[in-house]
Amino acid sequence: MQLLQRSLVPVLLLLFIACGNTGNESTAPSDTRWTLTGFQKNGTANPILSATDTLTFDCPLQKTRVKWAEKDVFNPAAIVRNDTLFLLFRAEDRIGRFAGTSRIGLAWSLDGIRFTAHPQPVLYPAEDSFNKLEWEGGCEDPRVVQDEKGTYYMTYTAYDGDKARLMVASSPDLYHWTKHGSAFAHASNPKYAGGWSKSGAVVTQWKNGVQTAVRVAGQYWMYWGDQNIWAATSDDLIRWEPVLYRTGEPRATDLRGIARELPELKTVFGPRKGSFDSDLVEPGPPAILTDQGILLLYNSRNIPSIGDSSLAEGTYAAGQALMDSRHPDRLIARTTNYFIKPEKDYEIKGQVNHVCFIEGLVPYKGKWFLYYGTADSKIAVAARNHP
Ligand SMILES: *[C@@H]1O[C@H](CO)[C@@H](O)[C@H](O)[C@H]1NC(C)=O
Ligand SMILES: *[C@@H]1O[C@H](CO)[C@@H](O)[C@H](O)[C@H]1NC(C)=O
């Protein structure tokens, strides 16, 4: 059993970030009561899911029977439906142009630890109008929320081998998914759908034991991106519009990724020199609206020479950030240190070394369960008591 708390002690020193031209509206909390801490990796149960050659299906594009989870399984979303905890996870086969096309599988559990996988993937490149964007890289990195009516919405990454694009799908039951295409397909500028985008974490709220997407200031919100973290808004959880800088608003000068072509995209926050998150930042699980603001657990990558010299090159460790609930594109506070980092064998060595990549967070049977991909190869869990 690993106590993650050790690395959190320095977090008690908060970094306060000026909030642009918000006047005095935003007051940074004076402590870290806003963070979700105390996660313990389950040392006996982890990794809870690994690659297997027992899962097969007929790939409509490969035109053959494929062992769709033979190479690696990782980067899981999590959601509770009725009394069951479901993971939607990324699985790779070993064949084709990249010796690894990604598809999204489903697994279920009654204790949050032991999972049974559905034999077939539930979302995958198929003979549809989206396979230009999804083949032959595949469908990657799901995050899932539900709306007030109980419809599920998944954001995922389509990868064509060249560019990653943030996509949306919906489902009544987690098994049957309808693809809706690029999250930005209907945005005001077609360049947003054409550019590199991924990792959509929708803002949610816990109410009466159910986590649902929630409107803030009249709209649904999502954090996205994998260099900086940007924001987007939507009326229907399907068609998203990136949040842009307002006239006169101070702009970030360190332009990264898609913002190099589209500098009007508002950076919510970016990497930090001298810190564990020195190279890139990327949303983790769906964000959570709390009475102190919007809590986003986020992934980050490190370059030791400009960042945290105690973490290996390319280490993905995760931190936490708080945004203003009246203005979700404004950062209020951010932890100075990570709360989870790679340290076990299977977190250090794999398809990509030194990775703990968080994507699923749910309360279930009295605990918060945090699910993460390890070294882009396996799936593990950390838990803490709830609330
Ligand atoms: C770890 O998993 C086991 C099941 O393998 C479970 O009994 C135990 O309660 C878990 N421990 C924690 C700290 O979550
Ligand atoms: C599961 O929940 C859905 C909606 O939340 C409900 O309509 C359905 O009847 C439930 N199914 C079972 C088997 O309890």
Residue 45 Cα to ligand 1 midpoint, Å, equals 6
Residue 150 Cα to ligand 2 midpoint, Å, equals 10
pLDDT for 386 equals 85
pLDDT for 40 equals 97
Nearest ligand, CA 80: 2
pLDDT for 368 equals 96
Both tokens of 287, joined, read 């964000």
The answer to whether the CB of 42 is under 6 A from ligand 1 is yes
Nearest residue to 336 via CA among 292, 260, 274, 294? 274
The answer to whether the CB of 82 is under 6 A from ligand 2 is yes
Q: In this structure, which residue's CA is closest to atom 4 in ligand 1?
A: 45
pLDDT for 24 equals 33
The answer to whether the CB of 172 is under 6 A from ligand 2 is no
How far, in Å, CA of 140 to CA of 121, rounded?
12
The answer to whether the CB of 2 is under 6 A from ligand 1 is no
pLDDT for 14 equals 34
pLDDT for 158 equals 98
- Whether the Cβ atoms of residue 183 and residue 200 lie closer than 8 Å to each other: yes
pLDDT for 253 equals 87
Q: What residue ranges in 173-292 does DSSP mark as E strands?
A: 178-182, 201-207, 210-213, 220-224, 229-234, 240-242, 267-269, 280-283, 287-290
Helix (H) or strand (E) holding 134: helix 131-134
- Whether the Cβ atoms of residue 11 and residue 32 lie closer than 8 Å to each other: yes
**Phi and psi torsions of 132, nearest 5°:** -60, -40
| Residue that has been written with the tokens 């081998």 in this structure | 161
Residue of 113, 369, 384, 385 with the most ligand 1 atoms within 8 Å of its CB, for mutation? 113
Q: In this structure, which residue's CA is closest to atom 2 in ligand 1?
A: 45
Residue 101 Cα to ligand 1 midpoint, Å, equals 32
pLDDT for 31 equals 57
**Residue ranges in the chain modelled with pLDDT below 70:** 1-31
**Phi and psi torsions of 152, nearest 5°:** -95, 140
The answer to whether the CB of 383 is under 6 A from ligand 1 is yes
